[in-house]
Amino acid sequence: MPSPKSVPPAASGIAAFLLVLLLLGSAAEVCLAGGAVTVDLGTVYASNKGDEVDPGLMNLRGKLQVMFNYSSYKMIDRRRRTLAVGESGTFELPGRRAMHVSPLPAPGNKVRLSVQIREGGKNLLTTTVGMSRGGMVLVGGPSHEDGVLILILSAS
């Protein structure tokens, strides 16, 4: 193996160039991981009172009925917020509850969200969800009136 003094100048120039490319590639990945995520939260009230399904939920009716087994589904709120990776956003929920969401670094076309649902000072749920951009997750939430809240969480 040659000593460092005997490395030709062209070889050290190539090594320096490759190091710069490697560092630029890492910086690009950090920039992508730090991009904004638009979080959309739909709050649905599900119960066995009646059999009406909100017109805005018709495309999810089958999934809702299989996953949650209620006869009535009503969208009671829908909010959207754009957050940077590491930034936290709060969505108010019925019943003095709130959902805190923070996007986490994720590769490529993926989104990871840290989610916490609180009622007053009490923690009801802490989890991390992952999805493709544009995907959605249905979360069976806390009880509400004569039924439950279902949270439709999507991110793009």
Q: Are 116 and 88 in contact (CB under 8 A)?
A: no
3 state DSSP class of 71: coil
Q: Quote the CA–CA distance of 153 and 138 in Å, as a whole number.
A: 6
Is the Cα dihedral 13, 14, 20, 23 positive or negative? negative
Segment 56-61 shows an average pLDDT of 92
Is the Cα dihedral 105, 79, 139, 64 positive or negative? negative
pLDDT, tens digit, for every residue of 81-129?
Answer: 999 999 999 999 999 999 999 999 999 999 999 999 999 889 999 999 9
Segment 68-92 shows an average pLDDT of 95
Q: Quote the CA–CA distance of 36 and 39 in Å, as a whole number.
A: 10
